Structure 1
Amino acid sequence: MSSTSERWFGAGHSTAVDSAKAGAEAAAGAIAGRTPVAVFVFTSGGHDLAAIEAAVRAEAGAAVVVCGTGFGELSPAGATEHGVAVAALGGPGFTVRAHTADITALGARAAGAEAARAMAGIAAPHTALLLLADGAMRDPHEIVRGAYSVLGAAVPLAGGLTTSGSGQVVGVAIGSDRPIGIGIAHGWRRVEPPMVVTRAADGRIYEFDGEPALDVLQRRRQATGTAAELFDGGRNLCPIGLDRRSGLDIRSVHGGDDEERFVFGTADIAQGSLVWLMEAERDELIAGGPAALREAVGALRGAEPLGVLAFDCGGRKLTLGDDGTAAEVAAMRGALDKPFAGFYTLGEIARVRGAAGMHQLTLVALALA
């Protein structure tokens, strides 16, 4: 078996204003003169993505290059907006392949299944499928279900929803001769009592426990006035926890209708679901980042970690603010003395131990050994 020292994972970060320069600087920092197998590029609005990609490919050679756009990027250098973060990996024992599917043409479920075909031909003792999907598309959970329909429970899923507007999902198959670990954490805790979603359709929740959903949330949050005031125009997020066999999946409700009294978010919560309102202190949210890293590293079963890909929710970033986000990245840096890189997403993907796979207001980490 190859020694860990022959394998590597690097992270680079640039805040250069020029897109090509930012891409080149971040890629050079991550690759550091080595030969990569795969390069992951994370950025947010304000940059020329084509210029970034071209600059990265000039550094990456024949490596698989995959880009994800979101509400900001993160690495040990910090959290930024309008920057570029790059992760790269290489050395013996890694196999990486990518396959893109058109959600608009195929539909979410079929596109997820098509993206999962990146795994075809990967023969390795340890595998994972990374999914980067356009978060503006309807039914993102169907993308995960489509991938699962092809791969089953044997291949763990991780990734995030992007702000690309591309209408596409990219599946990145990772094969390794050493363990791959996934961690999920958020810092939220449930508020009793639970509620049952008694009427929901088309992404809207009309009733909790037989009462108008907006009325229930206003009462539970001791608020009056309009839906816009309750949710502060979408800036005040209402975390909802869904009961799963493996724990609670988090969803974000961020708007409502004063006439029909329904509420809505960016992902469906099915009628009949048992749910809880969720709450957290600032320090609890900050602790979610390092907790996800520790869980991912723990899943390596004692193997030495090389580095981590991180998918943190843009809603967590909004809730924590600049100071809290900086504190979370610092806590992640303290918890993992290894490189990491990622971006702030529209939603997170992690399917392990039977979880449905779609998350919000959560941090998902994928650790490589």
Structure 2
Amino acid sequence: MSSTSERWFGAGHSTAADSAKAGAEAAAAAIAGRTPAAVFVFTSGGHDPAAMEVAVRELVRAEASGAVVVTGTGFGELSPAGATEHGVAVAAFGGPGFTVRAHTADVGALGARAAGAEAATAMTEMMAEVDAHHSVLLLLADGEALGPHEIVRGAYSVVGAAVPLVGGLTTGGSGRVVGVAIGSDRPIGIGVAHGWRPAEPPLVVTRATGGRIYEFDGEPALDVLLRRRGVTGTAADLFQGGVELCPVGLARRTGLDIRSLHGGDDEERSVFGTAEIQQGALVWLMEAERDELVAGGPAALRAAVDGLQGAEPLGALAFDCGGRKLTLGEDGTAAEVAAMRAALGRPFAGFYTLGEIARIRGAAGLHQLTLVALALA
């Protein structure tokens, strides 16, 4: 746990088999008898997230205390205790100067953009109540719903450029997006890092629709990737049945945003991923050694702490990509968490996502194969 002048941040972790017990154990460790403003419950397959959230709400007496409790499911969870699957990691914070509000929207009923906008009303509600010097909108959105980039755009349409966005895309098909508005009288820092580096030369996306690319530089996209990767055969050979990911860097004014291609069509010679890559975009194939990817985790935390303007960090939330976890393997993931623990020296908790959200400048904010960190002071 960590505290400064009665403000605090705690993290807990449990691998108990029973969902309610695991949630209560991890939450009790994170809260340590204090009254939280917010509790984030991160879990993965094999657990009942609803039962877990009920147990946590009962523990913190959420209805009476006004604590915001939200749950996100992914490909695993991480904290200073390590990275696990089928466990739970909990982050909680509280103390004077924090204000937290949450709003949930149904993606299926509203559509992606409208759901993002609806979830973002958590921020307008909070701003109507308090004059927070620093604020951020955290989004936990169903990553299996269509148009996750539209969710981010919808949220941006409500909060505008002055409010940064962070968060992650969840697994489990919840069909919802949860917006959590966090206000603070002290700085809030956001860090984004991945460890990938571009391989020259770049490619122009000459034909694409949504997340499917048909042509690079006027050639069939699958043929280009097979040649550039030195693979002979089919899309299944290139992507190894979805196990092997192909990261590409999408040119932005602030650098390269990572997108993940994970499949192809041998008949139409296209390749595809879950995130939109627009026709006309300039992209690079990305590559990295294991140590470079491991370094991405602590780099994101350090960048988030740098955003605190010299204030002492209490702790951090971490949104790491499930694709990075797959690429790093068990040993690499353990090395990354150990490096994060050493770099921050404070509690942190998070989960392995279907995609990461970080919008600091501009309207775009969806990332893949990246780690996004939110640091509080």
Q: TM-score, normalised by structure 2?
A: 0.96
Counterpart in the other structure of 1:49 = 49
Instruction: State whether residues 246 and 355 of structure 1, in contact with CA within 8 Å, keep that contact through their aligned partners in structure 2.
Output: no
Matched, 1:163 2:171: yes
Of residues 257-266 and 118-127 in structure 1, the stretch that sits farther from structure 2 once superposed is 118-127
Residues 56-95 of structure 1: pairs in structure 2 closer than 5 A: 56-62=56-62, 63-95=67-99
Counterpart in the other structure of 2:236 = 228
User: What SS does the aligned partner of 1:133 have?
Assistant: strand
Rounded Cα–Cα distance in structure 2 between residues aligned with 1:274 and 1:300: 33
Residues 1-369 of structure 1: pairs in structure 2 closer than 5 A: 4-62=4-62, 63-120=67-124, 121-122=126-127, 123-354=131-362, 356-369=364-377
One-letter code aligned to 2:80: P
One-letter code aligned to 1:49: P
Rounded Cα–Cα distance in structure 1 between residues aligned with 2:364 and 2:286: 19
Rounded Cα–Cα distance in structure 2 between residues aligned with 1:48 and 1:204: 33
Shift of 1:61: 1.8
Shift of 1:355: 6.3
User: What SS does the aligned partner of 2:239 have?
Assistant: helix
One-letter code aligned to 2:313: P
Rounded Cα–Cα distance in structure 2 between residues aligned with 1:100 and 1:353: 25
User: What SS does the aligned partner of 2:120 have?
Assistant: helix
Shift of 1:201: 1.3
Q: TM-score, normalised by structure 1?
A: 0.98
1:227-265 per-position Cα deviation (integer Å, ceiling 9, x unaligned): 011100011000010000011000000100111100001
1:269-297 per-position Cα deviation (integer Å, ceiling 9, x unaligned): 11000000000000000000000000000
One-letter code aligned to 2:211: G
Gaps of 5+ in 2: none
Instruction: State whether residues 12 and 27 of structure 1, in contact with CA within 8 Å, keep that contact through their aligned partners in structure 2.
Output: yes
Aligned pair count?
Answer: 367
One-letter code aligned to 1:36: P
Rounded Cα–Cα distance in structure 2 between residues aligned with 1:230 and 1:287: 26
Instruction: State whether residues 245 and 354 of structure 1, in contact with CA within 8 Å, keep that contact through their aligned partners in structure 2.
Output: no
1:36-94 per-position Cα deviation (integer Å, ceiling 9, x unaligned): 11100000010111221111112222311000000000000000000010000010000
Cα RMSD of the aligned pairs, angstroms, is: 0.9
Shift of 1:21: 1.0
Rounded Cα–Cα distance in structure 2 between residues aligned with 1:212 and 1:84: 43
1:84-125 per-position Cα deviation (integer Å, ceiling 9, x unaligned): 100000100000000001111111111111111001233200
Rounded Cα–Cα distance in structure 2 between residues aligned with 1:42 and 1:265: 25
Runs of 4 or more off by more than 2 Å in structure 1?
Answer: none
One-letter code aligned to 1:270: Q
Query: How many percent identity over aligned positions?
Result: 83
Gaps of 5+ in 1: none
Rounded Cα–Cα distance in structure 1 between residues aligned with 2:119 and 2:328: 33
One-letter code aligned to 1:43: T
One-letter code aligned to 1:29: A
Instruction: State whether residues 40 and 65 of structure 1, in contact with CA within 8 Å, keep that contact through their aligned partners in structure 2.
Output: yes
